[in-house]
Each structure stands twice: as C-alpha cells, then as structure tokens.
Amino acid sequence: MSNRHFANLLDFALKIGPRFTASEQDILEFRRMMDLRDDGFFWPGRGLTIEEDFENCEALQFWSKVFFEVAQSVFLREIGNQSNTQWQTQMIFFAMGTANLFLKAARMSGEVGKAWFPETRASTGNASIGVRH
C-alpha cells in the first residue's frame, strides 16, 4: 500500500473510530492513535508495526473492528468522495487487508480464540452497530 493510501486509510479509521469505542480502553486506544498521527509519527514510509505499535490484544481487537468497519463504510458510501467511485474498490481491499492483519495478530496473541471475529455490521447483519444516539 502506498504512503498516500495508508494516510487515507488511517484518516478514515480515525474518522469512524469513535463510533466503535465500546470501553474506556477503546477510547484510550483511539486517542493514542489520533495523537500519534497528529504528532507526525506516521511519516511517509513509516506505516504500522503491530509488534511495536500495539501493546495488547484489546488494541488489536479494536483496530480490527475499526478497519472492517472502514471497508463497510466505503462500500455503503458513508465516507469518502462519492463524486468519483474509482478509488472505492482499492480502499475496501486495503481496509480488509489491514483488518485481517489485526485479526490474525489478535488471534496469535493467545488471548482470544482462533475463531474470534469482531462484531461488525457486516458480520452480524446488525446495521445499528456503531450508531450513537
């Protein structure tokens, strides 16, 4: 994934992330990532290093869910430039790949089962997940 695509993917994740903060730990993790991005931690070419950048399984689970939801949000045309549709397929691919990377890391941590999967709108069919009232 190019630097520009990663920056866009991270921007989308930070845009929708607050909708999926179900716990205090999620809120702290979201704020941590926002601060890292705002402080220039993700300089061009830096990207993510799961082993170094994420200290616990809860963080991996949270970001897995958020990146799956980014893919769903792009698919449903909830985020991004809708006047041009040429970017959507590629962004969904990047979001799903990143979500699966976090999913595998969470499973490999040994803190969740090998069948663990985040509860997302797509996995549950529940369109109200992430809707704040």
What is the block-wise mean pLDDT of the chain (133 residues), using blocks of 10 residues? 78 90 90 88 73 87 93 91 85 93 92 89 72 46
Domain range spanning residue 71?
3-124
Establish if 46 belongs to a structural domain: yes
Q: How many residues does the chain have?
A: 133
Rounded distance, CA 61 to CA 58, Å? 5
Establish if 61 belongs to a structural domain: yes
User: How distant, in Å, are the alpha carbons of 25, 31, 42, 73 from that of 96?
Assistant: 23, 22, 20, 12
| Stated pTM of the model | 0.87
Establish if 131 belongs to a structural domain: no
pLDDT at position 62: 93
- Could you give the number of structural domains in the chain? 1
pLDDT at position 6: 81
Nearest to 113 by CA among 57, 73, 66: 57
Establish if 129 belongs to a structural domain: no
pLDDT at position 125: 77
pLDDT at position 27: 92
Establish if 120 belongs to a structural domain: yes
